[in-house]
Amino acid sequence: MEREVFYCGTHSGRDVNKFKELGLTAMTARIVSPPLIDKCIVNMECKVVDQLDTGDHTIFVGEIITSYLSDEKKKRLYNLGNENFGGL
């Protein structure tokens, strides 16, 4: 899911429907409103607990409420920086 991860991290949901653009399948979350992403090895439901206005950006601090781990054997994808990804 390298392409999907990069796209989601570089495009705002205010400007584009990421699920539609990437052909992702949404799953209903149990606690929060935003959907989970089917086929991900991990999904986390989070709530915003604080925010910091830094001038041109706002940093949101979240608390993980619950998480889900897939039973499928998949490689984990890591962002190594500079648009490089690697899996383990």
Look up the pTM and report it. 0.75
| Residue-wise pLDDT tens digits, 28-85 | 999 999 999 998 889 999 999 999 999 999 999 999 999 999 888 777 888 888 888 8
CATH number of 2-87: 2.30.110.10
pLDDT (0 to 100) of residue 74:
77
Q: 59-81: buried (b, 16+ CB within 10 Å) or exposed (e) per residue?
A: eeeeeeeeeeeeeeeeeebeeee
**What are the structural domain ranges in the chain?**
2-87
Residue 88 has pLDDT above 70, yes or no: no
What was the pLDDT predicted at 24?
Answer: 96
